[in-house]
Amino acid sequence: MDIIKPRTLSGFMELLPGKQIQFERMVSILRDTYSSYGFAPLDTPVIEDAQILLAKGGGETEKQIYRFQKGDSDLALRFDLTVPLAKYVALHCNDLAFPFRRFQISKVYRGERAQRGRFREFYQADIDIIGDGKLDILNEAEIPAIIYKVFRGFGLERFQIRVNNRKILNGFYAMLNLSDKSGEIMRTVDKLDKIGQEKTMMLLMDDCGIAKEQATQIMDFIAINGNNKYNLLRLQEYAGRNEIFDQGLAELKTVCDNLAAFGVPEENFAIDLTIARGLDYYTGTVYETTLLDHPEIGSVCSGGRYDNLAGYYIEKQLPGVGISIGLTRLFYVLDEQGLLNPALPTAPADALVLPMTAEPGPAIALAEALRSNGLKVQLYGEQKKFKQKMAYANKLGVPYAVLLGEDEIAEGKCSVKNMVTGEQVKLTPAEAAAHIKAGLDLGNVPIILEK
Amino acid sequence: MDIIKPRTLSGFMELLPGKQIQFERMVSILRDTYSSYGFAPLDTPVIEDAQILLAKGGGETEKQIYRFQKGDSDLALRFDLTVPLAKYVALHCNDLAFPFRRFQISKVYRGERAQRGRFREFYQADIDIIGDGKLDILNEAEIPAIIYKVFRGFGLERFQIRVNNRKILNGFYAMLNLSDKSGEIMRTVDKLDKIGQEKTMMLLMDDCGIAKEQATQIMDFIAINGNNKYNLLRLQEYAGRNEIFDQGLAELKTVCDNLAAFGVPEENFAIDLTIARGLDYYTGTVYETTLLDHPEIGSVCSGGRYDNLAGYYIEKQLPGVGISIGLTRLFYVLDEQGLLNPALPTAPADALVLPMTAEPGPAIALAEALRSNGLKVQLYGEQKKFKQKMAYANKLGVPYAVLLGEDEIAEGKCSVKNMVTGEQVKLTPAEAAAHIKAGLDLGNVPIILEK
């Protein structure tokens, strides 16, 4: 038979079992947290009509998209979860209850230039709340409150959700008569963290063509960077000069108040006037999230408020607010930096039952008994020497091996061996289950380490 | 703005939230059951190198596959989970512990002619156990035992896992000197259920060119159709004439014995000599699963033992045993036939908290308190009239609405309304959580009805 050398395409993450179990642990926290806030799971097709996916058209998206013909159909793979959501809501709007709240944790596809840590197939973990015509400001605090819960669920404490409001920025630039340049300015200001104050000031003048006085005012404005109370007070100084600005400031205040009511501590959210989000369709509150000890990763969770989700597909006004976690990249970076807690087991089973007799009946029964007590149990059925069986248990990384020989069977017991400590005890199946469960319970161990 | 009419491609299942929740409930049982037997979750890319996916080549697969170019790359979407598994095991074999046990519940793609109930994107839910060189017969009982657990988990009782062994068939046809026609014969015999005995006999003679006497022997053989003990006795009559047959019979006996040890009742598994599975690569035990009250659906779960998983990619001999559930089609048929239990809630939340005051703080705190008691809770933040709030709760199908007005806030309580019975009680948050949990506990309600 001709052998074709197996390979996985570059830019496609394919994990070994232990890593996959670590990845699933993060997915599971996302799914449970999103669900606990009453978000409906959504699952849209990977393939859509290319015309529909590209309704908005333009730019990078069109270059990166996987697009192909099948028969007469012009097809494409989704490049994010927002466009399919817009299509879904437009298509099914009569059947949905608004506000419509959905989460989707699914793969998306972008044919980017392959490079380390960049993926062509990657998971996004999104939540959105869509209103019909209107959507209350309360939702703009709930979304980051949920993200707070997710990151706390990961075991993290040193992270910050940064909040701004596009209306504040738009209003401020209107005050300076710079509305026509606001896009350009926001993109420049966004680079502040990377290039520093001086360079930003220079770019504002040279590239954006802004007079020195106005550029100074912009630099003063984005330098407002104290605690939330201070920032709101400083922003108040600009109030009364532009209606949009005042609206944005009122919204930002409400979001901050409500975030506190949701129990998000002040150290985990901050007003940050440099945040704008590149996308044109955000119209109000915008979010970014950074790991404080790892600013080099950039924002791990971003989103905001938009006024018109599905304008390309339907006349209906559908405002919404949403946020997205680029899960594959986040996982990759955490793993690279050794931040996935190695204390948590990465074996697919809690216990491996090793029959020491030829007849498998008693071992089958024992494994079933342990499973009925809620354990994940693998029965090892191969005819191998003891040493090989233990080598398998070690390679699998299973926390417990459960040995069943003639003696144990005669006593109605089994020998439970802790694979880390080597400690071995003879117990009844029920005792064994309790013993293993107690041993697996690590208390409140974080799944991600801070550093 | 130009409006593009939204649509979802035909042959692609996209569910409304209530149905999606029913679908997720099935996925969740599959995931939990597979995990409880110590299978590792696996997630391979949707896109693979086309040469690798089509290594085996040929026939329907090649016609149906989604294949396209991106840059210089010849790409294709996976059409099943077995070929990606073969690639994965071949590629990573040095890092895996054998037996390697994995489950994968993922979408696959086949550009079939679109027709009702046929999907171009559909979920398969697979488990496989792969050995390195050897794999014990015990695994061939464990796989159907797990499937038994899955279907019982769905709430079903009237289903049957049908078991046969390819060696028995190959050995029997060798006895009749019909080895060269065995493929043809198996495909013909496979139609027995649909076309009846007479027609099958005719096809064997006319299409397969088999003499009447041999055709009669074949018909006698496949007519062995009593209980398992009887069938094994009848098969014993053929023993001693062909080595392969004898081996197959010994395996079948062992599988039946072990299935009993796994606690699978006799009524849920049956020896069925008409089952062969079309695919050439099965070499031993084969399975099909039928819902006894819905034979028209055909097999809902099939698989078997193979000797050489990854021969196209690697010289290593990798025998295995696996089974696959065509989940999307199964869900579609169950839904069509009204078999998804309507008694189970389809709302994304257990309770909807409705603030009756302008200030959202107390409602936010209440919702958080209910969540910390393990409930899925949506906070309704829109400024609407009471009637509209209740209409929303009804459209969402949420089992409980929790009302919080001035009176309740003053008393430190909330009003919990059962949306089905209309019963309303005033309770503290902790009492409310307990009350709702008790109401949601339907006991052991099946998620799929038998008829």
Which residues of A fall within a CB distance of 8 Å from B2?
A: 312
Residue A279: predicted pLDDT: 64
Model confidence over A314-370: pLDDT tens digits?
999 999 999 999 999 999 999 999 999 999 999 999 999 999 999 999 999 999 999
Residue A96 has pLDDT above 80, yes or no: yes
pLDDT per position as a tens digit, B327-378: 999 999 999 999 999 999 999 999 999 999 999 999 999 999 999 999 999 9
Confidence of residue A163 (pLDDT cuts 50, 70, 90): very high
Taking CB atoms and an 8 Å cutoff, what residues of chain A touch B35? Answer: 348, 376
Q: How confident is the model at residue A261 (pLDDT cuts 50, 70, 90)?
A: very high
- How does the average pLDDT of chain B come out, rounded? 94
- Provide mean pLDDT across the span B431-444: 94
Q: Number of CB pairs < 8 Å for A and B? A: 256
Inter-chain touch A312–B5, beta carbons under 8 Å: no
Q: What is the pLDDT of residues B224-268, one digit of tens each?
A: 999 999 999 999 999 999 999 999 999 999 999 999 999 999 999
| Average pLDDT, integer, range B272-286 | 87
Q: Judge: A20–B40 Cβ closer than 8 Å, yes or no.
A: yes
Which of B70, B111, B139 is the closest to A66 by Cβ?
Answer: B70
**Which residue from B24, B91, B349 is facing A38, i.e. has the nearest CB?**
B349
This complex has an ipTM of 0.96
Per-residue pLDDT at A214 exceeds 90: yes
Task: Mark yes or no for CB contact A48/B8 under 8 Å.
Answer: yes
Distance of CA B219 to the CA centre of its chain: 32
pLDDT band at residue A220 under the 50/70/90 scheme: very high
Return the pLDDT at B58: 66
pLDDT of residue B151: 97
- Please give, rounded to a whole number of angstroms, the shortest distance from the CA of B242 to a CA of chain A: 26
Full-model pTM: 0.96
With an 8 Å Cβ cutoff, are B138 and A14 in contact? no
A268 CA: distance to closest CA in chain B (Å): 18
Q: What does the pLDDT average to over B395-403?
A: 97
Is B32 a residue whose pLDDT tops 80?
yes
**pLDDT band for position B281 (cuts 50, 70, 90):** confident
Which residue in the set B51, B135, B375 is minimally distant from A4, CB to CB? B51
How far does the CA of residue A136 sit from the closest CA of chain B (Å)? 5
Subunit contact B3:A314, Cβ cutoff 8 A: yes
Mean pLDDT of B104-111: 97
Distance CA A319, CA A6 (A): 47
Identify all chain A residues contacting B142, using CB atoms and an 8 Å cutoff: 379, 381
Token pair in block for residue A55: 């309704």
pLDDT at residue B99 above 80? yes
Strands B320-326 and B121-130: antiparallel
- Hey, is A357 helix, strand or coil? coil
Residues of B in contact with A107 (CB under 8 A): 46
Please tell me the distance from the alpha carbon of residue A376 to that of residue B32, in angstroms, as a whole number. Answer: 9
Which of A5, A38, A262 lies closest to B378 in CB terms?
Answer: A38
Task: Give the closest-approach CA distance of A442 to chain B in angstroms.
Answer: 20
In B14-141, at which residue ranges do the beta strands (DSSP E only) sit?
40-41, 47-49, 67-70, 73-77, 100-109, 121-130
Residue in A73, A120, A138 nearest the CB of B360: A138
Cβ B3–A258 below 8 Å, yes or no? Answer: no
> How many whole angstroms separate alpha carbon B350 and alpha carbon A169?
39
> Which residue is closest to B382 within chain A, CA to CA?
A136
Minimal-distance CA residue of chain A relative to B11:
A45
Q: How confident is the model at residue B10 (pLDDT cuts 50, 70, 90)?
A: very high
Within 13 Å of residue B211, how many CA atoms lie on the same side as its CB?
5
- What's the pLDDT at A42? 98
In this structure, are residues B36 and B29 in contact, taking their beta carbons and an 8 Å threshold?
no
Give the pLDDT band of residue A194 (cuts 50, 70, 90).
Answer: confident
Please report which residue ranges of A297-359 form alpha helices under DSSP H: 327-336
Contact at CB, B73 and A258, closer than 8 angstroms: no
Total residue length of chain A: 451
> Is the separation of the CB atoms in A309 and A319 below 8 Å?
yes
The phi, psi pair for A4, rounded to 5°, reads -105, 125
Averaged pLDDT, B150-173 = 96
- Which residue in B262, B376, B379 is closest to A368 by CB distance? B262
Contact B45 A121 (CB under 8 A): yes
Residue of B nearest to A351 (CA): B38
Of the partner residues B15, B46, B138, the one whose CB lies closest to the CB of residue A121 = B46
Contacts B44 to A, Cβ<8 Å: 8, 14
Rounded to whole angstroms, the Cα distance separating A104 from A83 reads 12
Q: What is the per-residue pLDDT for B357?
A: 93
The confidence score (pLDDT) of residue B284 equals 96
Arithmetic mean of pLDDT, B46-73: 89
